Structure 1
């Protein structure tokens, strides 16, 4: 079968609503071939295709890491590089894909989670401090979704790395999706020094779309803030 036909088959599989079936079907292809297709798919505008590609990136790179850890590292470094201005790109889908990979493979998470968290941190006053703060609000949306995913899949690790202190700054964002995803991440993490601010956000009726466990839902910032407050009490 030609590479083009394989690519189209992989893209077709991403439309499957059953993630378990999708994962099983994608496992029949070579991991590198799947990843090459997913790199393009995580940037697509179609919601379902894009989010399923992000989920699939996690499974596939985790599987690849068990066979060849260095190849998995190369993929992670490629995603990280796409977020740097020097790359010449935008990095659409990169934070989300990174979070999925790190949630699926603890060894890679121990190596790279600090890099993903650095995109929530400003540059320090001293040389070589690891802040890589993302100012683009559209990328912040992906980063805050990634924070929530890490809170689900690598909670102890990101707590130890200080992620609880990185999240409150986003609760004041003018972007509703950023505010809502920050509230959600705080609730999932179960730790926050800003409970009163979360209580204020429970009245926020701005809406956003949230992907979780294969499903896309429209919710309000206030609903996510209310859930976070409940988790923290």
Structure 2
């Protein structure tokens, strides 16, 4: 078993190793593997433990939470307190099972009182800030003191957590670094390594003040006998990308878009930050949802954002012409400009450019093809009177 696990870690092949990782012996093997911090393979074992816990959780509800409880128990005096690298393990399990285990947020944060556990705690909270910031929001007071500690690794992890939480649309106002401290951190060129997306990546502390994360996920949706392949991506502020088409092609286009609209951002694969949009899209294609209620992070020129905001005002099942949209945004001579803004719309369906038609009602201009535009309008027409 251990050789199989090492092979999975070496390749970081979570998909190909699903059946092996799902076995309880694998969990025990990974728990033993993380006793020794030996660089990249240690961190991949930490990540694999979270992945494995999520796989077992699919079949055995409550397993991930029970595994975390076992780790907390192993840290108390009654057990002898011998749980090597437990804070990293707990952080990984929580990050891969955020809805099932997010309620352990305070217990994880309180482990930062133990100096030997601080790196794991802050790494875990940083990962939670990416996938489930709601769980990190209440523990501000446990992260704040690390913004000014001497240890660059701890300081950098705290800075990045603050940066991520500051951009979280629903975060408390307290997640703002004071200006005087922020100025010092902007000049902080101390280096640290953070395990993210399978690698130990080097950062300057100052870089992490503005280091964005965009998390994407691809999923198929059914509309009758037709299958939609859709790629969605979210920043801390909200949904910033929704495209239709081949997953490989759409990922490449997303990364190209992110280079322009979010320079320096890490683009990571992940479902959890996109769960709500996936749920609402499922309801939309089933005909049971006519309005989307998720935060939107629109990135474009002021005129483009104005057009996209106007598109989101077009009611379900209705259409406007390019000229009508142009008049509504105060540019009556600009149907062509509206068409260009539609073409640059990064959030299809939810910013419904499919509801904009030609002057005589003709279906013209849709990035993924007019057949898709027709299907979306037909879907809405068939349900708008229900």
Structure-1-length-normalised TM-score: 0.77
2:176 matches 1:198: no
Which structure would you say has the larger Rg? 2
Structure 2 residue 10 is the aligned partner of structure 1 residue 10: no
Residues 102, 109 of structure 1: 8 Å contact kept: yes
The answer for unaligned runs of 5 or more in structure 2 is 213-235, 238-386
1:153 corresponds to: 131
In the alignment, does 2:141 pair up with 1:165? yes
Q: Higher helix proportion, which one?
A: 1
Q: CA deviation at 1:26?
A: 2.7
Contact 2:34 2:46 in 1 (8 A): yes
CA distance in 2, matches of 1:198, 1:90: 38
Displacement after TM superposition at 1:80 (Å): 1.8
Contact 1:65–1:71 (CA under 8 A) maintained in structure 2: yes
**In 2, Cα distance between the equivalents of 1:49 and 1:203?**
32
Aligned-pair Cα RMSD in Å: 2.4
Decide whether the 8 Å contact of 1:55 with 1:100 is kept in 2. Answer: yes
Determine if contact 2:152/2:205 at 8 Å carries over to the other structure. Answer: yes
Q: CA deviation at 1:44?
A: 2.4
Cα offset, 1:158, TM superposition: 2.4
| Offset, 1:90 | 5.1
- Give the C-alpha shift of residue 70 in structure 1: 4.3
How many angstroms apart in 1 are the aligned matches of 2:95 and 2:183? Answer: 29
- 1:25 is aligned to 16
Change (3 A) 1:213 1:205: same
Give the distance between the partners of 1:171 and 1:90, measured in 2 at CA. Answer: 29
SS in structure 1 opposite 2:14?
helix
Which residue does 1:179 correspond to in 2? 155
User: In 2 relative to 1, CA 193–46 (structure 1 residues): closer, same or farther, beyond 3 Å?
Assistant: same
> Where in structure 1 are there 5+ consecutive unaligned residues?
1-5, 121-132
Aligned length: 205
CA distance change for structure 1 residues 145 and 203 in 2, over 3 Å: closer, same or farther? same
Counterpart of 1:139 in structure 2 is 117
Any idea what SS the aligned residue of 1:204 has?
Answer: coil
Q: For the structure 1 residues 110 and 13, does the alpha-carbon distance in structure 2 shift closer, same or farther, using more than 3 Å as the test?
A: closer
What is residue 37 of structure 2 aligned with on the other side?
45
Equivalent pair of 2:46/2:89 in contact (CA under 8 Å) = yes
- Asked if structure 1 preserves the Cα contact closer than 8 Å seen for 2:98 and 2:131, the reply is no
Q: With structure 2 as the length reference, what TM-score do the two structures score?
A: 0.49
Which of the residues 220, 223, 230 maps onto 2:204?
A: 220
Match of 2:195 in 1: 211
Q: Distance in 2 between matches of 1:208 and 1:178?
A: 9
Larger relative CO (CA 8 A, sep 6+): 1 or 2?
1
Q: Does 1:72 align with 2:64?
A: yes
Decide which structure has greater strand share.
2
**1:128 corresponds to:** none
Cα distance in 2 for partners of 1:87, 1:175 equals: 30
Query: Match of 1:167, SS?
Result: helix
Tell me the residue number matched to 1:129: none
Equivalent position SS for 1:210: strand
